[in-house]
Chains A and B, each alone.
Chain A
Amino acid sequence: MTKLKKNGEPRRQVREGTFGLYTGFAMFGALVLAGLIVPVISKYDPNQPGLPPMAPPSRDYLFGTDVLGRDVFTRVFDAVFIDLGTALIGVSIPLIVGTIIGTLLGISRNKKINAVVGSLIDGINAFPFLIFVIALIAFIGPGITSIIFALSLVNWARYARIARTRAVVVNHQGYVEAARTLGYSKARILFKHIIPNVSSETRAYALSDFIIVIIAVAALSFLGLGAPPPQAEWGAMIRDGNQIFQIAWWPTIFPGLALCWAGITVAFIAEGLQRRLRETNSK
């Protein structure tokens, strides 16, 4: 029930979730911006050792230096693109592949294909996500491309499951039936009418998945399965810093905080968008 003013106009109110959404965007944007600017203007090379090692945070080295004598501040922001970029690609590929496969399954009338691929999807989803990715990396070797490849190979099935359920519903909705009666081509119906409506749901999931994948990418590098040295990467930096954690906290804490910052800001955005979606749906 929407509250109406006496003259029948809806009361103007700030849309739900707006505050979190904007804060999230601003804070996430700040991180990306810093990732763009800091490596360029910084006096130090992110990967070149030579500064005094393990220098605590000071005016010269804002976040201190690591055990090899590299500026942690420069490295933390140099890693923004490798971390967020890997996660972004690692979410996008499964999103696209999973949405298409799931949609095709949902609208297909072939029961055999549906049953076989459906149980394959269930099978992949049954594996603990991180374990499956780790195992795949074992066979194809560590590295950023391996992470993306393994993530894609595992995660498409989750999107496909969501897309399939949704596609079954969308396929029988009035506007799709109407388009069919109008004699539109199958491809046009699929891409113009069905996929956009299916992907609204998979995209919503992708946003919360993005948080998981950001953390997973760092965790894999932490386990030594990701970016090879000297590449600055949060998980790898935490792994290196951990060796001297008791003596010097800064090489571990600052990349960790950057990782937390990325996760929380995306969570704010996801939460805000979800609230909006719910609000729009309930109207």
Chain B
Amino acid sequence: MSNINESFPLADVAVEEPRDKNRLALRRLLYGRILRSLSVGFWVSVIAFLMIRLSPGDPVQIALGAEATEASVKQMRHELGLDTSIFQQFYNFITGIFQGDLGKSFYSGRTVTDIVGTHLPVTLMVIALSILLGVIMAIPIALAVALSKNQLVTYFFRASTSISLALPGFFLALVGLLYFGIKLNWAPSAGYEGAFPGNLRYLWLPALVNCGSLVPVLSRVLHSSLMDTLDEEFVETGVIRGVSKIRFYWSYLLRPSLAPTVVLLSYMVGVLIGGTVIMETIFSLPGIGRELITAVNTKDYPVVQGVVLIFGIIVVFFSFIGDLLGYLLDRRVTLS
């Protein structure tokens, strides 16, 4: 071989590759995303902070009721730190967040951190189950439609996904609750049990209703990525190498198509949270969404503020994870 190398000196020019392009790209993605998440997180806390201050009427007056004496109002303002400058208040608010102090409920006197700690797991469980169910349904649907050569299947797919997206989840939940919960008794209409396998009985229907908006979005995006992938040259090499069916579907079709879906899924967490709040109210689940609605109806401002902040942070966190996961699945994903 050595003499061939000498006669073809050109053949070695292209061999130089930056040694750690790999690590650099990952680091740049990480830094970029962390920076973005921090700036978004900053605004999330500013908005949550301002909400309570910009509301018409004095929150303290509202909390204490109309008969409150001037002294007690003053006392509470001091307790809440509302008698300092707005910048001081914001500073206290931010430092409070980092110390896990989100204030106290006007009524129960429980700390917001405590309320969130008790009720958030239920909400997260609903969301996790929705995502799990959604992915389990969306992948086979998108694959089947993409691989089908029948134009009618694609048409039916488009029509049914856009119809499903246009249906009000809360109405479906009510009908579902009446049918599955009361007529068939497959799902309890009230009550909850916290332990793992038992809680599924309470959670499957709310998660399924959430999927009504999740599955159409996911399967549509996945379907269009799959169609793009099917047109790609490299699929040919998979066929030629005669790789096993499972490997072919995973490495040559799904994995190169999955990144946009994963990133989108992480952004859909916000939509899922909205849906879950309504589901918790309908199915009487002791999640944080039901706490939020109660707090809204009783004007329990610190709880509303705290819950909003927590949800904002959750969304920022998930989109960070989603971007990272998308990159790990497919290195073509870049930071825009």
Contacts and interface: CB of A to CB of B under 8 A. Distances in A.
A–B contact at 8 Å CB threshold (below): yes
A271 B163 CA distance: 10
A128 B166 contact: no
Interface string A222-265: 11110000000001001000100110010011001001100110
Contacts of B40: 119, 122-123, 126
B171 interface: yes
B312 A126 contact: yes
Given A123-B44, A127-B315, A252-B174, A263 B168 contact: yes
A137 interface: yes
B162 A129 contact: no
B329 interface: no
B320 to A, nearest CB: 11
Contacts of A130: 271, 273-275, 277-278
Interface in B167-188: 167-171, 174-175, 178, 182
A153 to B, nearest CB: 10
B205 interface: no
A175 to B, nearest CB: 26
A133 B198 CA distance: 33
Interface centre among A124, A134, A260 (most CB of B within 10 A): A134
Interface in B305-334: 305, 307-308, 311-312, 315-316, 319
Interface centre among B168, B275, B281 (most CB of A within 10 A): B168
Interface stretch (B45-53, B67-75, B104-112, B136-144): B45-53
A33 interface: no
B270 A256 contact: no
A34 to B, nearest CB: 19
Interface string B264-284: 000001110111011001000
A267 interface: yes
B208 interface: no
A266 interface: yes
B166 A264 contact: yes
Interface in A122-173: 122-124, 126-132, 134-141
B120 interface: no
Interface string A92-104: 0000000000000
Nearest to A242: B174
A215 B271 contact: no
Interface stretch (B17-25, B94-102, B228-236, B289-297): B289-297
B270 A127 contact: yes
Contact of A131 (B46, B159, B273, B301): B273
Contacts of A124: 43, 47
A223 B315 contact: no
A259 B170 CA distance: 11
A218 interface: yes
A120 interface: yes
B150 interface: no
Contact of A259 (B55, B165, B168): B168
A211 interface: yes
Contacts of A139: 51-52, 54-56, 301, 304
Interface string A35-75: 00000000000000000000000000000000000000000
A126 B316 contact: yes
Interface string A205-231: 000000100010011001111000000
A170 B171 CA distance: 42
B85 interface: no
B171 A256 contact: yes
B299 interface: yes
B250 interface: no
B174 A238 contact: yes
Contacts of B47: 123-124, 127
Interface centre among A129, A215, A252 (most CB of B within 10 A): A215
Interface in B19-64: 36, 39-40, 42-44, 46-47, 51-52, 54-56
Given A123-B47, A129-B270, A138-B295, A211 B182 contact: no
B10 to A, nearest CB: 40
Given A127-B308, A128-B270, A128-B274, A135 B168 contact: no
A132 B43 CA distance: 13
B57 to A, nearest CB: 9
A246 B278 CA distance: 20
A218 B166 CA distance: 13
A192 B167 CA distance: 38
B308 A131 contact: yes
A34 B42 CA distance: 48
Nearest to A224: B297
B168 A256 contact: yes
Given A123-B46, A270-B162, 4 more contacts: A136-B51, A139-B55, A224-B297, A225-B296
Interface of A: 20, 119-120, 122-124, 126-132, 134-141, 211, 215, 218-219, 222-225, 235, 238, 242, 245-246, 249, 252-253, 256, 259-260, 263-264, 266-268, 270-271
10 contacts: A119-B40, A126-B44, A130-B278, A135-B51, A138-B295, A139-B54, A139-B55, A218-B170, A223-B293, A267-B165
Interface of B: 36, 39-40, 42-44, 46-47, 51-52, 54-56, 158-159, 162-163, 165-171, 174-175, 178, 182, 269-271, 273-275, 277-278, 281, 292-293, 295-297, 299, 301, 304-305, 307-308, 311-312, 315-316, 319
